[in-house]
Amino acid sequence: MVLYRDHDEKLDLLKAGKLSLLENVKEFLKRIDANKDINAFNFVFEKDALESAEIIQEKIKSGKFGKLAGMVIAIKDVLSIQNKPLTCSSKILENFHSVYTATAVQKLINEDAVIIGKTSCDEFAMGSSNENSAFGPVKNPIDKTRVPGGSSGGSAAALAANLCDASIGTDTGGSIRQPAAFTGLIGLKPTYGRVSRFGLTAYASSFDSIGPFAKNSSDLPKIMDVLSGQDLNDSTSISSSSIIDEDISKIKIGVPKEFFAAGLDTEIKSRIDQIISILEKNFEIVEIELPNTKYSIAAYYILTTAEASSNLSRYDGVRYGHRSKSNINLQDLYESSRSEGFGDEVKRRIMLGTYVLSAGYYDAYYRKAQKVRRIIKNDFEKAFDKVDLILSPTTPTTAFKIGEKTDDPLSMYLNDIYTTPANLVGIPAISIPIGNDSNNLPIGLQFMANIFEESKLIAVSKFIENNLVKK
């Protein structure tokens, strides 16, 4: 297999005739087949990928090609592609094929990316380990006894195992950044609204964001420039500026003391302290306070389960998706179809969401959580008056064993303790690999920025990638 560092280098090889895109795609397909045990893919589009490779190769030869020409990308199976399966890793959609293509995916296709397949995820993107898929758990390529993180674990595992050039995930409370940390990748959650959600199967509509996984910082701005932009099909999408080469010489980094309290693995804290000591030589580092982030997990799970309860009500066995055969009347049809189609975690979150929205509890839980969301947003606005970036761990631990936390939902939920605030507030955030622990498991470092300042996140990612020795 011809080696290349990033897309720029790959494109140069393709233009010079030193790399055949068709052979490149065939190699990826062979690797996918050889790594089936990882269970990263729900569906592989072999025929389509090979046909696309031939067409794009000719475009490159003619000199008329898109920004992502030849980049082989895997897509999380919550994003629709016309006439392709869209299961969300759930039995309730196991035979469903999409009738249109998601805006984000169509933009990749328009710029001559090769879509190689759809990756597994936690069912309806609900989970932190990718053990909730109806297709079975995804394994971490670095240690196959451990989880790759969730909910975008399939996308992370596919890239970490070199089964594609880049991959696309979704992030509702850390579902790109946490798998990136567990698999040693860069994972970017954009500003809410920067990327159209049209064609994304909703989990929690006011939280969901589509973003990329990459192995290098150079590919991130290219992918983000393609994904970004206003879409008339999504009223929450916003026209935003392009990613630029940010001058980071005057960037001020804030370190919130609340993110380094009890519960953080000692090896992760030690490694981040080392990184901070190096960053201090190049950036101004200041301690900041985010006093109300301690309520973020509670607020997040109240609000997202409420939105999930509403969003998933459409799966009723009538309009589309799984329909139970064991029913006597309409009420029985609803109950049987949903009971058979949804997995345990989805049922748990629907029940929680229905409870917090119910009469008598709406004010006590849902309304109060919305107020807390606003208070947390105020904390971040005050912080960004003082600093440009906020540094924190991505996860409290490195990748845990498969099955280790499946019987302890609360412990599983707490894996998102450092990532949920960015989704509550709607700001962009990135996870960057900074080395490994004593078990050779990757450690992730998170940076958060103010809205639409992804350029600063990518700039600091490039700095760390180029200047810090990974141990």
175 has catalytic annotation: yes
SS3 for 447? strand
Q: How far apart are the first and last CA of the chain?
A: 27
249 has catalytic annotation: no
438 has catalytic annotation: no
d(CA 225, CA 460): 18
Q: Say how far residue 353 (Cα) sits from the centre of its chain.
A: 22
Task: Tabulate helix, strand, coil % of the chain (nearest 5).
Answer: 40, 15, 40
Query: Tokens representing 135?
Result: 């297709």
Candidates 151, 337, 431, 455; catalytic one? 151
Can you tell me which residue has the tokens 């109240």?
302
DSSP letter, residue 170: E
Candidates 76, 107, 118, 222; catalytic one? 76
d(CA 410, CA 400): 15
SS3 for 445? strand
SS3 for 437? coil
Closest of 227, 160, 221 to residue 193, by C-alpha: 227
- The answer to whether the CB of 134 falls within 8 A of the CB of 42 is no
For residue 228, is the peptide bond before it cis, meaning its omega torsion is within 30 degrees of 0? no
CA 401 → CA 138, 202, 467, distances in Å? 12, 28, 32
Q: Give the residue numbers annotated as catalytic, written as ranges.
A: 76, 151, 175
